[in-house]
Amino acid sequence: MGATTPDNIMQLSMGFWASKAVLSAVELGVFTALATGPANLSDLQTRLKLHPRAARDFLDTLVALRLLEREEGRYRNAPDTDLFLDKAKPSYIGGILEMANARLYGFWGSLTEALRTGEPQNEAKHSEDFFAAIYAEPARLRGFLEAMSGISAGAAQAIAAKFDWSKYTTFADVGAAQGMVPVVVARAHPHLKAIGFDLPSVQPIFEEFVNRQGLADRIRFQSGNFFDNPLPNADVIVMGHILHDWDLAEKRKLVEKAFAALPNGGALIVYDAVIDDDRRLNAFGLLMSLNMLIETRGGFDYTGADCQAWMRDAGFVSTRVEPLLGPDSMVIGFKPD
């Protein structure tokens, strides 16, 4: 047997060092700057407005974290950072990291208080409703919607590839945000038409994104509140990173409303960082549930078995769980013919 060491404990306990280095790099635009080509220390220090005392250690930290590469004194992006953290590329996922840096990083400093009180530690801590605050301010809303695109991009590609869309002609994304899922799925399956369903303030941002992708002829926006209004009628309804925001009664209500909106033979696709049934493996999903503790008054993440049970109680049949990308999985249920 090998010697027991504190390595894992130290890596986890001081993990916020690496996390903040990455988030600051995104905020400073390091990876976007290097997407145009390699640069030396002096050049980057000037372009990024870094203090001479900080620049070398900061950039070499990103090398050690395998986000940058350095050869003969010149820095360049690693392949994954060049693809996913260059703002100029459509594959950019940094929106969620920008939100993490601006909001979540500070709120997570109050996790102990959340664990003891069960109360949110975000804007709601000061009597400001989280969603109302974000949706009321255009610039803040755009940042949030771009963050949702970043966290949904990989899952959207997997849903487009793994679900059998050939049997259907229409789908609706409930809580569509900027429209990443409708865009990715519609582009992959030209026979489909889509609806993005979200609050009215989302419409101009959604339509701008869809128009930029050249898909306005097949994707339209429908405004509404998914608790107060009926859900759109479509062959397939998608709910991505939605259910975990709400308490159990609200989760069940949304699943039931999806069942009511679907035609016979229709399908519901729910995706989140679904926790493994034994609650031992998907650390990201469990941490996301703690994030819901910090962000919401009743939200929590759930296992595949939990979601299938809610679907079956609502009337869905042939439910199943399929992994997507990273920690995300989709739970699928079908309305009987």
The percentage of the chain sitting over the pLDDT mark of 70, rounded to a whole number, equals 99
Write down the catalytic residue from 189, 191, 241, 244: 244
Nearest to 293 by CA among 305, 282, 301: 301
pLDDT band at 90 (very low <50, low <70, confident <90, very high): confident
Please state at what angle helix 248-261 crosses helix 304-314, rounded to 10 degrees: 50
**Distance, CA of 322 to CA of 320 (rounded, Å):** 7
Q: Which of 5-14, 31-40, 138-147 has the lowest mean pLDDT?
A: 138-147
Section 178-205 average pLDDT = 96
**Both tokens assigned to 151:** 């966290």
Give me the chain's average pLDDT, please: 95
pLDDT > 70? residue 1: no
Section 265-274 average pLDDT = 98
pLDDT at 188: 97
**Both tokens assigned to 184:** 């990715």
pLDDT band at 142 (very low <50, low <70, confident <90, very high): confident
Q: Which whole-number Å values give the CA distances from 200 to 8, 41, 150, 171, in the listed order?
A: 47, 47, 21, 19
pLDDT > 90? residue 133: no
pLDDT at 127: 67
pLDDT band at 132 (very low <50, low <70, confident <90, very high): confident
Residue type, 18: A
pLDDT at 144: 82
Return phi, psi of residue 151, to 5°.
-80, -15
pLDDT in tens, 62-81: 999 999 999 999 999 999 99
**Distance, CA of 94 to CA of 99 (rounded, Å):** 9
pLDDT > 70? residue 181: yes
**Both tokens assigned to 87:** 């703002």
pLDDT in tens, 215-258: 999 999 999 999 999 999 999 999 999 999 999 999 999 999 99
pLDDT at 317: 98
Per the annotation, the verdict on 244 as an active-site residue is: yes
pLDDT band at 158 (very low <50, low <70, confident <90, very high): very high
| Residue whose structure tokens are 């996390």 | 19
pLDDT > 60? residue 172: yes
Q: Is the CB of residue 69 less than 8 Å from the CB of residue 75?
A: yes
pLDDT band at 128 (very low <50, low <70, confident <90, very high): low
